[in-house]
Amino acid sequence: MPIVIICQNKDPLPWVKALNRVAPDVEIRLWPDDQDRDLATMALTWSHPPGVLAHYPNLRLISSMGAGIDHINNDSSFPSDVPVTRIIDPELLHDMYDYLETQIAGFRHHSHYYGLSQQTRQWLPLNSIAKDSVRVGVMGLGKLGGHVAVKLAQAGYSVLGWARSQKALKGVHCFSGQGNIKEFLRQSNVLINLLPLTKSTQAILNRQYLSCLPQQAYLINVGRGLHLVERDLIELLDEGHLSGACLDVFQQEPLPEKHPFWSHPKIKITPHVSSLTNPESVASQVVLNYRRIGSGEVFDNQVDLQRGY
């Protein structure tokens, strides 16, 4: 029974190669050129066009090609009785940490500002922001957020974290629940968003909450574009409440050419690359779950669709 790969904005060929290497006996098909869709029992998806999963009547498992599953859960036509799994992989954790630590160091040393002054050939030195005055707030303390928060604390930053349930993480001052979000934000001057996109987290990076951050705070959004109310961010940057933002994820990806974020002097953009799944590293976990179909064994990394993550 074939596995079908259904993806947009991602090259499927490295996935085919990695899956063929670990499971040469399994047929891998590529949407949209695949035939006999009733034969596929597993779909591996990223940013699939809504509605397409419903064309596969015999799916027994849907796997995200990344850590997030919002693209699956937000497709109202997806067969919701089919289990959904996601990717959890140490490489994702390491890459995310490296990316975020680099952005925080860039914030401390004004790297974005120097990039702009280089363009106008201006020699404008500024004092760097002392490491001990940076208080990093991490929203979402799951696989990625929990790892990043603990490692940033080990690296000498003051770290705060916020999640739905209370955590005890070494070196991290943890907050939980809606009732404590404002206090968490008031104490964070660099805010990292690593929440999953769900009904309760959509638009959470809005004026009401971002204004709780101290003056000159910096935002790093690596969660999802729909967490952020774009107009609120631009206003808070223009008013000077926030000093800048590094954005890796967007409501529409690729970010449209005419989008105001491209030319905003306080916004740094990366094209959804803070931690990309390496197919070679995760092919075996995908195949392991594929082989469990029909065995009665529990799938690894299955998500709770009611909770949304």
Binding positions for ligand OXD, rule: CB under 6 A: 66-68, 277
Residue from 45, 46, 63, 66 touching ligand NDP (CB under 6 A): that is: 66
Q: Which does 198 bind (CB under 5 to 8 A by kind): ligand NDP, ligand OXD, none?
A: ligand NDP
Least Å from the CB of residue 275 to ligand OXD:
6
The residue type at 2? P
Q: What is the arrangement of strands in the sheet containing 3-7, beginning at the earlier edge strand?
A: 28-30, 3-7, 42-46, 61-64, 84-85
- Whether 53 contacts 77, CB under 8 Å: yes
Structure tokens at 60: 């027994």
Q: What angle do CA 166, 170, 176 make, to 5 degrees?
A: 15
Annotated active-site residue 272? The verdict is yes
Quick one: 69 or 287, whose CB is closer to ligand OXD? 69
Cis omega (within 30 of 0) for bond into 90: no
- Verify binding: residue 9, ligand NDP, rule CB under 6 A: no
Structure tokens at 126: 């500024």
- Verify binding: residue 142, ligand NDP, rule CB under 6 A: yes
- Return the range that interacts with ligand NDP (CB under 6 A); candidates 43-51, 196-204, 252-260, 261-269: 196-204
* Residue 262-281 contact track with ligand NDP, rule CB under 6 A, x = bound: ----------x-xx------
Quick one: 225 or 244, whose CB is closer to ligand OXD? 225
- Verify binding: residue 285, ligand NDP, rule CB under 6 A: no
Quick one: 159 or 197, whose CB is closer to ligand OXD? 197
Whole-angstrom distance between the N-terminal and C-terminal Cα of the chain?
28
| Ranges within 241-260 binding ligand NDP (CB under 6 A) | 248-249
Annotated active-site residue 224? The verdict is yes
- Return the range that interacts with ligand NDP (CB under 6 A); candidates 64-72, 100-108, 110-118, 282-290: 64-72
**Residue with tokens 């705060």, as numbered in its chain:** 160
Least Å from the CB of residue 97 to ligand OXD:
14
Half-sphere exposure at residue 205, Cβ-oriented, CA atoms within 13 angstroms: 34
Q: How far is the C-alpha of 249 from the C-alpha of 226, rounded, in Å?
A: 9
Q: How far is the C-alpha of 84 from the C-alpha of 78, rounded, in Å?
A: 11
Structure tokens at 273: 């690359």
Say if residue 34 is exposed, middle or buried (CB neighbours under 10 Å; 0-12, 13-18, 19+): middle
Quick one: 28 or 228, whose CB is closer to ligand NDP? 228
Residue from 197, 205, 229, 283 touching ligand NDP (CB under 6 A): that is: 197
Q: Which of 48, 86, 224, 227 is catalytic?
A: 224
Structure tokens at 171: 């070196």
Least Å from the CB of residue 260 to ligand NDP:
21
- Verify binding: residue 151, ligand NDP, rule CB under 6 A: no
Residues involved in catalysis: 224, 272
